[in-house]
Amino acid sequence: LSAARAAEDKALGGTWRQPQTSVTLAPTNSQRDGVTWAFKFRWAKDYQGVRDVLYEEGLLDVNVVPGMTVPKGMEAEVSIRSKSPIQSVEPEFPSQTESAAAGEKPKGTHIYKVKFAKLGENKLTVHFGRNQYSTLEFFVTEPLEALIQKRAAFLVSHQQHRDPAKWYNGLFSEWDMLKKVLRSPDDKDGLADYILASDDPALSKAPYIAAKNIDYPDAKEIESVEYFLKNFVWGKLQMTDREKYPYAVYGIDNWKVNRESKPADRYGSVDHVWRTYDYPHMVYLYLSMYQIAKYYPDQVHYLDKNGYLERAYGTARAFYKYPWEMAHWSANELGNYNELVIADLIDELYAVGWKDKADLLKKDWEGKVEYFVNDQPDLFYSEFPFDPTAFESTGAFARYALEQLKQPSMTLKVKAADVERYVHEQLACNMATRGWLEPNYWQIGVEGSMRYMSQMGGWSILDYGLYYAKDPYPYLRLGYASYLSSWALMNTGTAETNYGFWYPGQENDGAAGSAYVPQAYGSNWFGKSQPRGAWQYSGEIDLGFGGALRTAATIVADDPIFGLVAYGGPLKKTGMQAEVIPEDGLRRRFHVIRGRQRLHLTFNRDGFVAGQPVRFDDSLGEISFTLENRAPDSAAAHSTEMSVAGLPAGNYEVTVDGGAAQKVAGGDAAQTLSLSMTGKKTARVVIKRT
């Protein structure tokens, strides 16, 4: 009976996408003085069981690849399984939608293919059964690569304060999409101090920019991050290596309040450097800047690569040290956003010969992994009793433990049976926090209100499907939908669409909301009431976009429902040959998952040339592609590391532009080759069985 509320919501500016119904009741004691609804409850033992119940009751069991947030022009496939007959599937915007039935499979499964041209919300209405209908709600974005690059550019051009007279000079703060203004500690709009200049909202933005610049370097963006580090972080937000607590990071409310506090102030809350959540953001930032300095040394000016690596290490050690020493706040007992990069930092420390530092940090890291595997903590507990923000971390701990079990000289103190239990426990918890059966973009693959953990936790689901699952395909579907999901919160567009679906206007092109209000008119975490849609402030969403950078991949999968499909690009199959054009946003990771066959092809830098295919035959006897040099100076000496795993048994030669061959062998173990890109804009790479 939502029509009674419709007028009120509409007057407030609220919107609703479904028909709103009403019932008029007759006077009391007449024949029509009431309405009766009947409900049927059934038990199901698992997710597939729920799908089977939907089918058995004549309703719709829906699966979608690659997800329900989809880039413009990227083909989506929808499977609808039902006992009821399907009369039609109607697009909301027929002139801007390509849709077609793509066959029927046993047990009433119908496959449809669809491409959307209209940005923003798009519905497919399924008419079935006895005058029944259901809606499948998609959100269409600009291409993923445009989103990734636009977001970084917007943060630099619209969300950084540059005023040497202000204590927050260099800060990346909150852009108000409603009023089209950058907020600050001096202009709060009612926002808490920590949202504007501390904590996860403020500290997530620079790391995203830095991580994006590993793949797409831009001198202006790199300079912006270094300005932030020089003017807002070192000696301000973060203690220097010469201060009382070297590398310590100040927590809420902000560094100025903390540094100016005296023992009698704020209940004695001085030297507030024990909030563990703040540290991994800075580790991620320094490690990303280290990679930029390593790959593009002429683009950095604040520190060199060793300086950034030292800062990353010092901050990581401080993460484990000060919170416990000063407040008995253990870094080990809770998962923290972005902390998974500490494992990469350890690997890099070993690679450059900083063994003593690597050994110390590895002991810290493994202590935490052991705690989660062996002590069975409450995985839903984080800042609050139920706060599922740690599933990126718990997935990373599971991955690390699985990989360590393969090592003959393992130092991790765990048992295989405990690792197996923990892997499935954390995976089940992660999946339980996100939608899977609901066919709409704000629920499928989404954690909570489409916030940052949709993408961060989604990484570990997709990673499990790619590398470990016996039946990978359900995890690929859910994990990739999670990767795509929160891009719907970005406000982007073209002049034709007035630069944005949620908050139009060129000033907002590249802005983003922190999460999503599903009600016609509701409220958000910032204390604001608003119509349905993305929040007006970005808050913590750049944590999610950073997680998306770790996830982006093109995946060819032989799905039992859809057949051979590609996540992240168009697929073409001719006879024994297949080709796919990577359009996943980064063009740096490529996987083939078919039966027992699992090919993983990844690069540490550079990437596949835009618009050109990766080609391979059914036997994976030959794989070919063109690699692009993304260094600003292509003449500068550099090589790209290519990791390949999962080639079928045999011996292979790898050639670059037909030059001298390098040899690799088939097998599951990853092998790394160095491909010279010096002086090349592009290079043709062929992997061929001999």
Map 443-466 to HEC letters.
CECCECCCCCHHHHHHHHHHHHHH
Compute the residue count for the chain. 690
Q: What is the pLDDT of residue 557?
A: 98
Q: What is the pLDDT of residue 266?
A: 61
Residues of the chain with pLDDT under 70: 1, 266-269
Sequence-distant (6+) residues with CB within 8 A of 9 are 15, 16, 520, 521
User: What residue has token string 């976009």?
Assistant: 545
| Strand pairing report for 132-141 and 69-71 | parallel
| Token pair for 78 | 């929808």
How buried is residue 22: exposed, middle or buried, by Cβ count under 10 Å (0-12/13-18/19+)? Answer: exposed
Tens digits of residue pLDDT in 603-638: 999 999 999 999 999 999 999 999 999 999 988 889
Sign of CA dihedral 371, 377, 379, 381: negative
Q: List beta partners, residue 623.
A: 616, 687
Q: What is the pLDDT of residue 102?
A: 94
SS3 of residue 121 by DSSP: strand
Tens digits of residue pLDDT in 191-219: 999 999 999 999 999 999 999 999 999 99
How buried is residue 408: exposed, middle or buried, by Cβ count under 10 Å (0-12/13-18/19+)? Answer: exposed
For 535-670, strand residue ranges (E) read 554-559, 563-567, 571-574, 577-580, 589-594, 597-603, 607-608, 614-617, 622-628, 639-645, 647-656, 662-667
The Cα–Cα gap between 631 and 291 comes to 13
| Token pair for 377 | 């903590």
The Cα–Cα gap between 322 and 245 comes to 8
In which element (H, E) is residue 116 found?
Answer: strand 109-116
Terminal Cα-to-Cα distance of the chain (whole angstroms): 69
The Cα–Cα gap between 433 and 582 comes to 30
Q: What is the pLDDT of residue 262?
A: 82
Q: What is the pLDDT of residue 614?
A: 98
Taking each helix axis from N to C end, the angle separating 541-551 and 473-485, rounded to the nearest 10 degrees, works out to 140
| Token pair for 319 | 């993460």
**Average pLDDT over all residues of the chain:** 95
**Nearest Cα residue to 555 out of 466, 670, 628, 669:** 466
Edge-to-edge strand ranges of the sheet holding 671-676: 563-567, 554-559, 589-594, 597-603, 639-645, 671-676
Q: What is the pLDDT of residue 29?
A: 85
Q: What is the pLDDT of residue 269?
A: 63
Tens digits of residue pLDDT in 239-272: 999 999 999 999 999 999 999 988 777 665 678 8
